[in-house]
Structure 1
């Protein structure tokens, strides 16, 4: 899993990703943990060839 940060007009957004097919998008619904932490127990059971995109919304996780 790779972690990257992007600067936007609204602030910095951090996201985790892994390339693969098909792509699964994980969205955090509540709490202050980052998206990958919230889905960590699910991710370990998913096949390693699936792509994953997990952004942290602004003011959650490691996003500004």
Structure 2
């Protein structure tokens, strides 16, 4: 399936946002997911399916000092 991730055309076999987050190695990290300009709560990631042409933005906190 083809969609846009952080502005880049991307292909994935992931069916939902939780699978996508896991494939990116972000579980147990601080991150936010936006799907088609709507913030998706972490509690809804598993039930939110990825559709062709979706625009997904994922940002994650990077520590530093």
Q: TM-score range by the shorter chain?
A: under 0.3
Give the structure-1-normalised TM-score: 0.27
Q: TM-score, normalised by structure 2?
A: 0.26
